[in-house]
Amino acid sequence: MKAAVVQAEDALIQKLIANLGIDGGYDSLVRDLFHDLSQPLSTVSCVLENQLLVSRSPKQYRDDLKIALKQVRSIVWHFHALRELWDAGSAQQNQESLSVAACMRDLAGDLLPVAESKKVKLLLATSADCMVHFQAGRLGQALTHLLEFAIQFCAAGAEVEIVADAEGETARIALEISALELPPAKNPAEGCAADRKQCELKARLDLAVAWRVFAVVGGDLRVERNEDRLRLGVVLPLAYR
C-alpha cells in the first residue's frame, strides 16, 4: 500500500513539473478545467429536469437539492479558477516597490491556522529585505498559491522552510517541503478518485497562477524534486529604490 502511495506521489509531482515547463501549464489546465465542467453541469441539468418531470417526496427533494448544491459549488470553483488564470497573465498596472520579507511574514501569519491544522511547521528566514516591483496584491496572490501548494503536499509533522534573499540583481525565494505526502481523501467512504482529481487541479492551478504572475514581471518559477523533499524556487528582478 505504501509503495502504491509513493508511486502516486511520484507520478503527480512529475506531471506537475512537466506541465510547469510548458507555458506554466496554462493551456493544458484551461483545457482540463473546461472539460471537467461538463460533469457538474450535466448533473445539475438532470436534477432540475427530474424536479419538473417526476413527483418527489420532501426527502427526495432535499437530497436532490444537496446534490445540485454540491455541483453548483464545483461549477463556481471552476469559473473562479479560469478567471484567476486569465487575470494572472495580464499586464500589471501601477506597480510599486514591495518588500518580499514583509509579504512572506504576512502570508505565513495568514496561513498559519491552515498549517497548524495539518501539524505543519512554517519556518521563515530572510537574509536581506529584497524589494521587487509588483502591482499591489499580485505578489501576495502568487506567493499565497505557492504556500498553499506547499502546505497541501507537506506531510503531517513536517516543515515548510521559506527563504528569501538577494543574489546579484535578483530576489530569490525558496519554499522547501521537508517531507512529501499526498493529501488524504476528504470522504474515503465515497472513494478517493474525485478527491485526488480535485487535489491535482488545485495543485496545477497554484503553480500556473504563480508562474504567470511572476512571468509578467520577468520572473521565473521552478519546481525541483530531491528524494522526499520538494523545492519551489522563484527568481525575480530586484527593484531599486
Give the pLDDT confidence of 91-104 residue by residue, as tens digits. Answer: 778 888 888 888 88
- Residue among 3, 5, 12, 46 nearest 230 (CA): 12
| Structure confidence at residue 13 (pLDDT) | 76
Least confident of 10-24, 43-57, 66-80, 153-167: 10-24
What residues have CB less than 8 Å from 186, skipping those under 6 apart?
195
Q: How big is the chain by its Cα radius of gyration, in Å?
A: 20
pLDDT in tens, 182-236: 766 554 444 566 777 888 888 899 999 999 999 988 899 988 887 778 899 999 9
| Structure confidence at residue 206 (pLDDT) | 92
pLDDT in tens, 37-56: 998 899 888 888 888 887 77
Q: Locate the domains of the chain by residue range.
A: 2-237
| Structure confidence at residue 6 (pLDDT) | 52
| Structure confidence at residue 192 (pLDDT) | 62
| C-alpha cell read off for 109 | 501569519
- Of 33 and 52, the structure prediction assigns the larger pLDDT to 33
| Structure confidence at residue 18 (pLDDT) | 76
Pairing of strands 159-167, 121-126: parallel
What residues have CB less than 8 Å from 22, skipping those under 6 apart?
28
Burial state string for 125-136 with b = 16 or more CB within 10 A and e = fewer than 16:
ebeeebbbbbbe
Place of cell 500500500: 1
Top-level CATH class of 2-237? alpha beta
DSSP code of residue 128: S
- Of 18 and 143, the structure prediction assigns the larger pLDDT to 143
pLDDT in tens, 103-158: 888 998 999 999 999 899 999 887 667 889 888 788 999 999 999 999 988 888 88
| Structure confidence at residue 141 (pLDDT) | 92
Mean pLDDT of 6-33: 76
Within 13 Å of residue 4, how many CA atoms lie on the same side as its CB? Answer: 1
What residues have CB less than 8 Å from 202, skipping those under 6 apart?
152
| Structure confidence at residue 3 (pLDDT) | 47
Mean pLDDT of 160-177: 90
**54 by DSSP, 3-state: which?**
coil
Say how far apart CA 101 and CA 165 lie, in whole Å. Answer: 9
Mean pLDDT of 53-72: 86
Say how far apart CA 34 and CA 156 lie, in whole Å. Answer: 33
